[in-house]
Structure formats: structure tokens, C-alpha cells
Amino acid sequence: MDNGSLEEWLHPSTGTGEVTEVPKILSLIQRLNIAIDVASALDYLHNHCETPIVHCDLKPSNVLLDGDLTGHVADFGLSRFLSEPTMSVSGNQSSSIAIRGSVGYAAPEYGMGSEVSTYEDVYSFGILLLEMFTGKRPIDHMFSGNLNLHNYVKTTLPELVLEISEPLLLQEGTTNVVEAHRHSRLSVRAPKIEECLTLILGIGIACSVESPTNRKDISDVASELQSIRRNLLN
């Protein structure tokens, strides 16, 4: 698509090495809009298709951005249909995939021979959300042993939210300007940005907990993110 993948915007230094005239920078509201786009896409796949679909490989490189920076979930090469109302597929379907997902984004139960479920997409979305607003990859060299992106954010909220958030988002708070729509701008005070970041990262934590059944439902996630956006733009 016109604006490539979310990966290229979150980590521009990992591109082809070509020098661009305008650095790829996503504002707070743009990131929130993209997060809502992805959550809405997953809500559609999980809850509004005739047969629920699990993407199984959600990550920044599989989120494509069009000319308006609207996020589109792409690459359904590992996706699976859920035929049972229990929202999981039979064991023989699950075992047909030796590896599901990508390192850092795959749910913990992936490596335990679990059946495919929508909970796994929710976990990947939670990690994606944490990455979008902290600027840190889940496979960053700083994460080793028991320290991962989920725990890193969880242990710092809410007191240190400004320290762990993407620096570019905090610059918006100091300049008091956030791009809300293509043709409009509005002032956002730093305290409101801090509040919104705390809520967003909190959702990312709730989505990426280890226990699948304790993760948030993606429809609730989409609604909560939309509420955060309304508060930010109010």
C-alpha cells in the first residue's frame, strides 16, 4: 500500500538504508487510529464473520497503511477458520502447523501444542500495542530471562509511563500539538497525553497476560480504544 507497513514507520532505521526527505513519524493520534483499525479488523474476523477467523501472525510488518494511514491487517498465510462455537479448532487442525506466529508476538501457549483460538490474536495485538507506544520491539536485546516487553511495561505503570513511552509522543506533549485529522490540529496538554498513554498501555498489558482466558475480548478492546480517542480529542 501507499505507506508501506507499520514496521517501516515504527522502526525506520531497519529499512533499506535509503535516505528519505521526510522521516516517517507517527503522532500519538495516528498510532491510536491505527491501533483502532487493527482491533476493529480482528473484531470483525473473530466475531462478525460467518465462520470466525484467527489471523495467527499479527505483527507490525503485517499491518499495511494506505494513503490516509488507515491500518489494514494483511498476510493470512497462517490464518485458520474456527468451525466450533468454542472458538477453537480441533486438535488435528492445530497440529498441522508446526510453528504458528512470529517470535515475540506468538502467544505462550503456541509452543505447548494448544488449539488455535482467538485468544492468541488478542495476545499478539497486546504486544503490538505495547510496541507501538513504547517504541520497543518484543525481541529487543534488553529483554532476556524473565524480562519481556509485557513485564517491562507492567512493572512501570502508571508511575513511570512517561519514561517508557516512545519519546516522539512525549515531544507532542511539550509542544502541545497533536495532529487530529488531516485538515485540523488541536492542543493537547501533557497530563492528558500521560493519562491516555497509561490507559493504552494498560490495555496492552491486559491483552498480553499469560493465561489465555484472562485476556480481554477484542470487541471490548476496540471500544475502549475508541473511548480513549474521544477523550484525547475532546
**CA gap 68, 145 in Å, rounded:** 40
Q: Which residues of 29-150 form beta strands (DSSP E)?
A: 53-54, 63-65, 71-73, 80-81
Spatial contact of 108 and 215, defined as CB atoms under 8 Å apart: no
How many angstroms separate the CA atoms of 85 and 55, rounded?
17
Q: What is the dihedral of CA 8, 11, 17, 21, to 10 degrees?
A: 70
140 a catalytic residue: no
Annotate 27-50 with DSSP letters as a single string.
-HHHHHHHHHHHHHHHHIIIIISS
The active-site residue, picked from 2, 57, 68, 220, is 57
Question: How crowded is residue 202: how many other Cβ atoms within 10 Å of its Cβ?
Answer: 18
Q: Which residues are catalytic?
A: 57
